[in-house]
Amino acid sequence: MIIRDYRHDDMYHIHRIAALSLDQEYAPEMFDHFRSQWPSGQIVACGYDDVPVGFISSVMTDRSSARIMMFAVDPEHRSCGVGAKMLNAFRQKALMQGLRNIVLEVRVSNVAAISFYRKRGFVPCGILERFYTDGGDAMSMMAPAQLNI
């Protein structure tokens, strides 16, 4: 497993993973948009063939915090440690840039994702009613960027 920065030629693969994994629809150009805002906040996990099997797309919200906008792993590669490795790499990059906190939103009904984040130090910090385009609620979660939590 290789964790590396997102490249423009990853867009097709990332868009496919997002379509399979996330219940919101995103335009492929969204990934380049996030990259233009904060290049270091876009990472992919690849097999040895350099084809992405997961990604994290984020923005820097201020000088001390990052917000994960999208985080997904191809369904065929879940429960193999891909997400944990990506999150650890993302945290390390955030720390190296002086960030202290990471925030994200997750659908309140996504019990598996909430459990994943809790195991990695994220704590709930609020419910966002009707956050998703279908009217679904989200849970806001936050964790320190530091790895030794």
Summarize pLDDT for 16-25 with one digit per residue, the tens. Answer: 999 998 888 8
Residues 6+ apart with CB under 8 A from 44: 3, 4, 5, 6, 10, 13, 14, 52, 54, 55
pLDDT for position 148? 60
pLDDT for position 147? 67
Mean pLDDT of 2-11: 93
Give dist(CA 40, CA 34) in Å, integer: 10
Is residue 36 pLDDT above 90, yes or no? no
Domains in the chain (CATH in brackets) are: 2-102 (3.40.630.30)
Res. 105 pLDDT band, cuts 50 70 90: very high
What are phi and psi for residue 21, nearest 5 degrees? -110, -30
pLDDT for position 85? 96
Summarize pLDDT for 48-60 with one digit per residue, the tens. Answer: 999 999 999 999 9
- Tell me how long the chain is: 149
